[in-house]
Structure 1
C-alpha cells in the first residue's frame, strides 16, 4: 500500500467512537484517516489492534494536539521521540500541529492564541524548526480558531505567513477556522485565503461549527459542514488548487453513511475544480 497521498484525496478522522464502522467501511468510502498520535501512542489491546489494522489498509496522517508550539516551556524531547517512532511505524507522510499553545505549568486542554508579534514569530518558528529536526521530517502547522486576541501588532494573515517563511514549514489550511475567525473578528475570509502561500499548503481541513449568533461562531467539529464553509472550500481550491482534504468530526457522530455523503461532497468540489482548470487550459 502506498502511503503517499495524491492531491485529490479525502480523509476522515480516526476516532475511537467510529472504529467499528471504519473497520467495516466499504472500499472507497474514504482515502485516508487522520489521528492524533497523542491519543494513540502506547495504546494496546483492542484499540491498538484496530489502529494497526486500519493503518495497514489506509494511509494515515497525524494531527498533533499537545506540542504547544507557541508555549514557553521547553519542548518535550521524550514525547517527540515517541512521536517519531509512531510516525515511522505507521508510515505517516503528513504530520501537522496547531499554531497555538496549550500548556503553561500544566496542560490547559485548549488551543490558546499566540500574540501576533515579531517576537512571537521568531519564538514559534525556532520551536517548529526544533520539532522538524527531532521528527526528521517537514511538518505543517494549522491556522487555529480563536475568540480573543492577546495582542495584535500585525494582521493574522501576515503573522501566519511570516511563521511559515521563518520556520520553512508547510501549512495545514483549516477552511472552517478561516470562516469562524473572519466572522468573529470582522475580516474578509476570501481575502485571507487569497493571501495564503499556495506552495506551502500541504492539506486542508473542513468541519462544522456552532452558530452562537450572527457575529459569533464556535468551532466545534460536532455538526455538519455549513453551506458558507463549503463555498469557502471551493474558493480555496480555486485559489490554491486541490490538496488532500480532511473532514473533521469529533463528537455528535452521525451514521458513517452521513459522513460518507460529506466526503462525497468534497470529492465533487475537487472534481469540479479539476474540470474548471481543464476548461480554462483548453478554452
Structure 2
C-alpha cells in the first residue's frame, strides 16, 4: 500500500468491556475513546454489532486484535482479514492494531500470543505479513510489543530494534504497551528505558497501561487483572515525556472493577501527562 500518515489522537480511553456497556451506550463514561477487542465484533450481525454501532455514535473507537498472527510462518488468513476489513469499514476506527506474535500453525489456534525469535528471517516474514495486511485493509496497522517470558538462542537483535525496523520497512505504527515493557524487562533483566529510548517517536500512536501478577521465581505475568502498579506508572511518566501527545488506554480483562475505579486510574494517567506537559512548557 502507499504509506500514509496516521494523525495523532491524544485522548484517554478504556477497553469496552461488557460490565460497563450501559455507561458507554448512554455516553456517560468520561473517556475520550474506547478500544474494542476486534474479534468480539467480527460476526455478521446481532447484539454485539448493534451495541458497537450505538457506542460508536458517541465515542471514537480503536480496534485491537488478538488473532492476526503477524508472526505466523503460515502467512495471514484471508477470511480473517476480510472480516476485519468489513468491521473497520463499518465503524471507521481511529486505527486497527494487533500484536507482534503468532497464535497458531496448520489450522491450530493456541489462543495465546506466542513469541517470535528476533532474527533476520523472522523480520522478513513479519514485514511481509504486515505489508499484506495493510494492503488488504487499506489502512496502516499499529503493532504492539508483547510481554515476554522466554528468549531464543538465535536472537540477533533486541525486541526494540526488531519493532523499529518493522516500522521502517512497512510504514506501520506502534502501540507501546508500558506494562509489557516492564514485565519483559523484569523477566529478562534489561533496562526498560533503553527500550523506550530506542523506539522511534514518530511511529508511536497509542500507549497501553495495565497490571500484572507475580509468578514463581520472580517472573512477572501479564494478566490484566490488577490495577496499574507504581513501577508501570513511573515508566509511563518517562514514556509520555518522550512520545508526547498520544492516545493512552488502561486495559482490564479480568477481575473487572466498577467503572468508577477505572476512571480513577485513568485520571492518574491524565494527571501524570499534565505534569509532564507543564514541566516541558
Identify the match of residue 215 of structure 2 among 208, 212, 215: 212
> In the alignment, which of 101, 111, 116 is matched to residue 109 of structure 1?
111
| Alpha-carbon displacement from aligned partner over 1:102-149 (angstroms, at most 9, x marks no partner) | 011211100010001011111100110000000001111000002112
Aligned to 1:48: 49
Question: C-alpha distance in 1, partners of 2:262/2:27?
Answer: 11
Deviations 1:79-112 (A, max 9, x none): 2122112111111121111001001121110001
- Equivalent pairs counted in the alignment come to 274
**Cα deviation 1:152-186 (Å, max 9, x = unaligned):** 22222222212221222111111000000000000
Partner of 1:19: 21
> What is the rounded CA distance, in whole Å, between the counterparts of 1:43 and 1:258 in structure 2?
34
User: What is the distance in 1 between the residues matched to 2:275 and 2:216?
Assistant: 32
What are the ranges of 5 or more consecutive residues in structure 2 without an aligned counterpart?
1-5
- How far off its partner does 1:44 sit? 3.6
Please name the residue that 2:254 is paired with.
251
> Quick check: 1:99–1:143 contact (8 Å CA) kept in 2?
yes
Contact 1:176 1:229 (8 Å CA) reproduced:
yes
1:57 match: secondary structure = coil
- Between the aligned partners of 1:214 and 1:39, the Cα distance in structure 2 is 35
Shift of 1:6: 5.7
Matches of 2:216 and 2:237 in 1, distance apart? Answer: 24
What is the match of residue 32 of structure 2? 31
| 8 Å contact from structure 1 (residues 242, 273) kept in 2 | no
> Deviation string for 1:195-229 (max 9, x for gaps)?
11101101111101112257311101111000110
TM-score between both structures, scaled by the size of structure 1: 0.92
SS in 1 for 2:185: helix
Q: Aligned match of 2:191 in 188, 191, 200?
A: 188
Q: Is the 8 A contact 1:35 1:63 kept in 2?
A: yes
Aligned to 2:136: 134
Q: CA-to-partner distance for each residue in 1:22-70, whole Å, 9 max, x for gaps?
A: 334625x111011122111116433332211101110000011111000
Q: Give the alignment's TM-score, normalised by structure 2.
A: 0.92
- Whether 2:168 is the aligned partner of 1:152: answer no
Q: Please say if residues 207 and 224 of structure 1, whose CA atoms lie closer than 8 Å, have aligned partners that are also in contact.
A: yes
Range that drifts further, 182-191 or 79-88:
79-88
Q: Is the 8 A contact 1:34 1:60 kept in 2?
A: yes
Task: Name 1:125's counterpart in structure 2.
Answer: 127
CA contact (8 A) 1:238 1:273 kept: yes
- The answer for the alignment partner of 2:3 in structure 1 is none
Structure-2 separation of matches of 1:227 and 1:5: 30
Residue 281 of structure 1: aligned partner? none
For 2:237, the equivalent position in structure 1 comes to 234
- Change in 2 beyond 3 A, CA 1:168/1:6: closer
**Does the CA contact (< 8 Å) of 2:40 and 2:48 recur in 1?**
no
Report the aligned-residue RMSD: 1.7
Partner secondary structure for residue 209 of structure 2: strand
Asked whether 1:81 is paired with 2:51, we answer no
Q: Does structure 2 retain, via aligned residues, the 8 Å contact 1:5–1:59?
A: no
Contact 2:8-2:205 at 8 Å conserved across structures: no
